[in-house]
Structure 1
Amino acid sequence: MRVWRKGLLLGVCLVLLLAVKAASAQSEGVVLVLRLKGPLTPVMVQYLERGLATAQQQHDALVVLELDTPGGGITLMEKMVQDIRNSPVPVVVYVAPRGAMAGSAGALVTLAGHWAAMAPETAIGAASPVGPQGGDLGKTMEAKVKAILEALARSLAARRGPKAVQAAEKMVGEAQALSAEEAHRVGLVDFLAPSLDDLLHQMAGQSTTTVAGEVTLPPSLEAVPLPPTIGESFFHTLTDPNIVFILLGLGVQALLIALWHPANWPAWFVGVASLLLAAYGLSLLPVNWVGLAFLLLSFAMFALDVKAHTHGALTAAGLAAFIFGALTLFNTPAALPGQRVSVPLVVGSGLAVAVVSMGVVALALRAQQRPVQTGEARVRTLVGKIGEARTAITPRQSGTVQVGGELWTAVLAPGATAVASGDLVEVVEVRGVHLVVRPVSGDATPVVE
């Protein structure tokens, strides 16, 4: 009887515990936090889409998109706006931390959120369109693009009131920018929050409408960050102008080395891989093609100096072309803040490339001045050299050895023991086109020339 009562009591406690846990789960909502920093890129769009899909699968209460961007392409902006507006999980776009901005296309991404929030000392706006390379669109095209973007801004700001709609139109039509306090005053953003915790505290219990219908946030919200994957981080790094510049210089230098030494496959691999990665970054960044042409010209001068015997004159000219090309590579009106190559990096890289090129020139001159050894004089230098057996050599069977970077047919010296492939051998005599060798201890070092 006591056992039965204890079992019943235990069951009741278990049911109560599950009920309390379920009630707690309903009262606490998970908030998935995404962080986007820098100019808009395709990788950011993929990260946003993955975050929204993850939030939907996990039935999260809210997605916070923490944004700090100077802007980006219209196509990328439109895709992000579509993803946010079609998300069944409500999204709040939070311009943070202090000093951050939602500039240009980022302003429209902010308005696309079901809620918009800004930290103090942040800014939003300046969303007027420009050409792909920063030039004028032309009056007709500019009027068309502005009309489309103004209509999008009005539709996104319509639920925030007439003052917000007017401010949104001016952000596109007149490139107007607003501080966080100004944006909040006209209703362009819903919350001013110095921190994420404060924002979630203000949003608890708020309601909005998504494609899934009306959604009310729970009274307790818990933030869970979603870090980018290794692939997303890697490809996002490739949109950094400094990284693109380094890859471009490394790739061309490696290919120059490969052209002088065609058998050097690591140089071929590094050169081609670096240029392919640089090409990915160049395809996403506003490039000044004159700067790129000067960079290629500089590397051509470095290469020609090895053959032209100008004693460094072409290298000096190449250094000047290199620095000019690097400084103008991303120097276009369309380049956003942060899309410039670091000046110290340019100067340091230029000096490093010039030193390497001068070293190659010096080695080439030394090689040209060295007397060429042929015939019997060349053969005599092989005696006493250490090489490596490429095949087995026995007293009855010849084999192949590598000495000084060359392959030779070899036979064993009288009385010498058999040699296995990979063993070290010493050249004791040259007989015509054959070497006479004997095995040596493993402490010796093969000769490389």
Structure 2
Amino acid sequence: MKRLLLFFFFLGLLGPVHAAPPPLLWVTLDDAITPVSANFLLASLEEARKKGCQAVIWEIDTPGGLVESTRKIVKAVLSSEIPVVVYVAPPGARAASAGTFIVLASHIAAMAPGTHLGAAHPVTLTGQKIDKKTLQKIENDLVAWARSLAHLRGRNEKFAERAVRESQSLTAEEALKQRVIEILARDSTELLQKLHGRKVRLAQGEVVLQTRGAVLLPFREDLKTRILRLLAHPQVAYFLLMLGLAGLYFELSHPGAVFPGVLGAVCLVLGLFALQILPVNYAGLLLILLAGLLYFLEIKITSYGLLALAATVCLLLGSLMLFGRNPSGLRLSYGFLLPVVAVVSAFFLTVTYLAARALRHRPISGAEGLIGQEGRTLTEVGPEGGEVFVSGEIWRAEAERVIPPGTPVRVVAQKGLKLCVEPLR
């Protein structure tokens, strides 16, 4: 009995035993906002729910992206049963354009020193021309959306409007001072310290974050997401498209090679699939396909290089138009585009020249190769026939008039296994 009392006495001295706080899910996004990245972020919310996390932290660094994908992400955040913390990091990162809307929609917004956000003015993707009135409607719609998100989270509505109308940007320190974000943290450790005890209002009620001593669970992309993300990169999509066209063109100009044709078909399918994910100008895509057709016609039609020149111009213009004025993460840099166009054009021109030369060269074998060959008669050759020696072989031959033996002759036609000859003059 005394031992039992001593046990409870020492247990009381130790104090109450606290259970470990629920973990937090840490997600890193360093990419443009596309359907692939949107699905990745939405999958993290589902994963956090399954693992019983108290919150999910999105560490983002994005140049912007597509409005529809951004709306999908924002809707998921607004209806989330788990608090979403958006952390613009590491130093040097940005949350531009579409990233600004994600920050405004988050339950708690944080930034690392040396980062910035803003510049959310809408742009016409793929270089398409939109009249001023339509563009103003799009701008007003995005302004209303940004202001509503800022009002919902108690953030600076004036900045939300200026970010869209005037492409205003703020540093992390300015964003904290102007009530655009709530936390300025150098790293994940400081972020967790400043998140501890903060209250978050969700649809089902108020939640208090207990992040002190909480475990961070990393959320990584699965294989499918990695493949889709790789394919959705503009440089990869464009390179696959060029490789596909080059492979098919080589197969058509040199039938029987097989491997280039199969490789080209696979790359072309993957390239077109990637372009379906990305915002592209279909006029640019048609110009690129037209370039391949013109290169092929150069083999069949004698244009003295005009078709090849037109194909090269179409390839360059189509490549420039393909991704137009997309955000920096969704377009091709000139440092990548121009060398690829130069190499692909040189490849097409070389294959075209070789194929055209082969097609237009006089045959040197077979039935067509005998026409024009010279030889001599072995016997008397006339309308009734005779024998000639041509190309190291003895042939049956006939002629319109009688040719004596030993006379030099030239082959003018072939009828089955018999040659038609005439005397050399």
Determine the structure 2 residue equivalent to 1:327.
320
CA contact (8 A) 2:125 2:324 kept: no
- CA gap of 1:216–1:310, structure 2 versus 1, over 3 A, is same
Deviations 1:42-92 (A, max 9, x none): 111211111101101110122111112222222211110111121111110
- CA gap of 1:342–1:150, structure 2 versus 1, over 3 A, is closer
Quick one: which amino acid aligns to residue 300 of structure 1?
L
Distance 1:80 1:354 in 2: 41
Deviations 1:277-307 (A, max 9, x none): 2223323434344543442343233223333
Quick one: which amino acid aligns to residue 192 of structure 1?
L
Secondary structure at the residue paired with 2:22? strand
Determine the structure 2 residue equivalent to 1:179.
171
- CA gap of 1:36–1:320, structure 2 versus 1, over 3 A, is same
How far residue 27 of structure 1 moved from its aligned partner, in angstroms, is 3.1
Deviations 1:233-255 (A, max 9, x none): 11122222211111111121222
Determine the structure 2 residue equivalent to 1:442.
none
- CA gap of 1:350–1:155, structure 2 versus 1, over 3 A, is closer
- CA gap of 1:355–1:79, structure 2 versus 1, over 3 A, is closer
How far residue 127 of structure 1 moved from its aligned partner, in angstroms, is 2.1
Determine the structure 2 residue equivalent to 1:65.
58
How far residue 177 of structure 1 moved from its aligned partner, in angstroms, is 1.8
- CA gap of 1:324–1:169, structure 2 versus 1, over 3 A, is closer
Distance 1:126 1:33 in 2: 26
Determine the structure 2 residue equivalent to 1:223.
216
Larger Rg: 2
Quick one: which amino acid aligns to residue 207 of structure 2?
V
CA contact (8 A) 1:47 1:232 kept: yes
Distance 2:160 2:346 in 1: 54
Verify: 1:84 aligned to 2:42, yes or no: no
| Mean CA deviation greater in 80-89 or 26-35 | 26-35
Secondary structure at the residue paired with 2:191? helix
Secondary structure at the residue paired with 1:221? coil
Distance 1:155 1:266 in 2: 56
CA contact (8 A) 2:24 2:54 kept: yes
Determine the structure 1 residue equivalent to 2:419.
none
How far residue 189 of structure 1 moved from its aligned partner, in angstroms, is 0.3
Quick one: which amino acid aligns to residue 296 of structure 1?
L
Determine the structure 2 residue equivalent to 1:253.
246
Distance 1:148 1:320 in 2: 39
- CA gap of 1:261–1:85, structure 2 versus 1, over 3 A, is same
CA contact (8 A) 2:126 2:323 kept: no
Verify: 1:106 aligned to 2:106, yes or no: no
| Mean CA deviation greater in 342-351 or 84-93 | 342-351
Verify: 1:153 aligned to 2:139, yes or no: no
Corresponding residue to 1:47 among 25, 40, 48: 40
Quick one: which amino acid aligns to residue 331 of structure 2?
R
Corresponding residue to 2:300 among 307, 327, 337: 307
Distance 1:351 1:208 in 2: 55
How far residue 266 of structure 1 moved from its aligned partner, in angstroms, is 4.6
Determine the structure 2 residue equivalent to 1:350.
341
Verify: 1:209 aligned to 2:201, yes or no: yes
Quick one: which amino acid aligns to residue 171 of structure 2?
S
CA contact (8 A) 1:204 1:221 kept: no
Secondary structure at the residue paired with 1:220? coil
Distance 2:79 2:178 in 1: 26
How far residue 103 of structure 1 moved from its aligned partner, in angstroms, is 1.5
CA contact (8 A) 1:52 1:89 kept: yes
Give the alignment's TM-score, normalised by structure 2.
Answer: 0.74
Percent identical among aligned pairs is: 33
- CA gap of 1:141–1:295, structure 2 versus 1, over 3 A, is closer
Higher relative contact order (CA 8 A, sep 6+): 2
Give the alignment's TM-score, normalised by structure 1.
Answer: 0.70
What is the count of residue pairs matched by the alignment? 358
How far residue 331 of structure 1 moved from its aligned partner, in angstroms, is 2.9
Corresponding residue to 1:29 among 9, 12, 22: 22
Verify: 1:273 aligned to 2:270, yes or no: no
How far residue 359 of structure 1 moved from its aligned partner, in angstroms, is 4.0
Distance 2:254 2:317 in 1: 29
Determine the structure 2 residue equivalent to 1:341.
332
Determine the structure 2 residue equivalent to 1:195.
187
| Mean CA deviation greater in 195-204 or 152-161 | 152-161
Determine the structure 2 residue equivalent to 1:415.
none
Deviations 1:132-183 (A, max 9, x none): 545565455445444443333233222554x712222222233322221111
CA contact (8 A) 2:22 2:214 kept: yes
- CA gap of 1:290–1:153, structure 2 versus 1, over 3 A, is closer
Distance 1:370 1:159 in 2: 80
Secondary structure at the residue paired with 2:73? helix
How far residue 354 of structure 1 moved from its aligned partner, in angstroms, is 4.0
User: Where in structure 1 are there 5+ consecutive unaligned residues?
Assistant: 378-449
Distance 1:192 1:209 in 2: 21
Distance 2:65 2:296 in 1: 38
